[in-house]
Amino acid sequence: MLVTGDSLKMIEESKSELQQIFQMKDLGELKYFLGIEFARSKERILMHQRKYSLELISELGLSAARPICTPIDINVKLTTKEYNDYLKNNNAKQLKGNNAKEPLLSDVGSYQRLIGKLLHLTVTRLDISFSVQTLSQYLQQPKKSHMEPATRIVRYIKNQPGQGVLISNKPIQEVTAFCDADWSACTHTRRSVSGFLIKLGESLVSSKSKKQTTISRSSAKAEYRSMTITVSELTWLLGLLKELEAEVKLPVNIYSDSKSTIQIEANPIFHERTKHIEIDRHFIREKIQQGFM
């Protein structure tokens, strides 16, 4: 359990009341919690998982392995057993080599455990979020071609096992969000992948890389849905900050590299090509009218 606040007196009173009801041990200043290490200075706190990362590297027997500079090879196309069967039954040209004949891993649990540990590592290692999200789609029937890129991520982590997230102690005034989408990224379903990160002042507080639930027929639609997911997260985050009585400067700045998404939102005229995202459009427009962004 973590007990935190801006008043040492209230913290001590809270711990004293809890100790009267529960059998507890005070471990002092926060240094290690659920595999996450905390390094403090007068200006910031560094959250990292160096010990956790080194244990994972040792567990896989990669202590002597050569580090890699990138978490995933974008040229490698991963496929599922069902997708290979579909290509085989339809004599598709995409079916090449022995990829379709590749058997499943004999120890499926080893792959599932590794992905689970990598998911926990994404708490402080945002640079592997997309790679882990991609590999987590093959948990049911993993193959050797899936295990190799999962091991590659661990070798990438070996390059800088102590990398983490910096939390600044500067006053919180502005909330900034960045959103993007990889259109039609999934080769099996052709669904897009949304990604966002939100900063509270200079500190990163929320991020996500997730495949969208529906298929987008245009890149503008995928980008707009990514912005909708970001605004939803911002709505929840600002509500939480309000409960904590933290002052936040409005409007919130949201950055997107999609000109079409920005133009759709800036133009109040209803476009025929945006009928399929009418709900998302009205949701974001309502937030703009409220001065939210």
Residue 128: inside a domain, yes or no? yes
In what helix (H) or strand (E) does residue 253 lie, and over which residues does it extend?
Answer: strand 249-256
Whether residues 146 and 184 fall in one domain: no
Q: Dig out the tokens for 164 from the structure.
A: 């983490």
Which amino acid, one-letter code, is at 64? Answer: A
Whether residues 233 and 267 fall in one domain: yes
The structure's pTM equals 0.75
Whether residues 177 and 249 fall in one domain: yes
Residue 33: inside a domain, yes or no? no
Q: Out of 30-34, 97-101, 123-127, 246-250, which region has the weakest mean confidence (pLDDT)?
A: 97-101
Counting the structural domains of the chain, the total is: 2
Q: Out of 33-42, 127-136, 265-274, which region has the weakest mean confidence (pLDDT)?
A: 265-274
Whether residues 88 and 183 fall in one domain: no
Q: 3-state class of 206 per DSSP?
A: strand
Q: CA–CA distance from 231 to each of 149, 162, 180, 250 (Å)? A: 32, 31, 12, 13
Per-residue pLDDT tens over the stretch 142-189? 888 899 999 999 999 999 999 999 888 887 778 999 999 888 777 777
Residue 40: inside a domain, yes or no? no
Whether residues 175 and 270 fall in one domain: yes
Residue 13: inside a domain, yes or no? no
Q: Dig out the tokens for 41 from the structure.
A: 């200075």
Q: Residue 236 belongs to a domain with what CATH number?
A: 3.30.420.10
Higher-pLDDT residue of 1, 86: 1
Residue 94 has pLDDT above 60, yes or no: no
Q: 3-state class of 205 per DSSP?
A: strand
Task: Supply the range of the domain harboring residue 134.
Answer: 50-157
Domain end point (choices 134, 157, 180): 157
Residue 97: inside a domain, yes or no? yes
Per-residue pLDDT tens over the stretch 260-277? 777 776 665 555 455 556
In angstroms, the CA 285 to CA 265 distance is 7
Whether residues 152 and 199 fall in one domain: no
User: What is the per-residue burial (b if ≥16 Cβ within 10 Å, else e) of 4-22?
Assistant: eeeeeeeeeeeeeeeeeee
The owner of tokens 């120890």 is 107
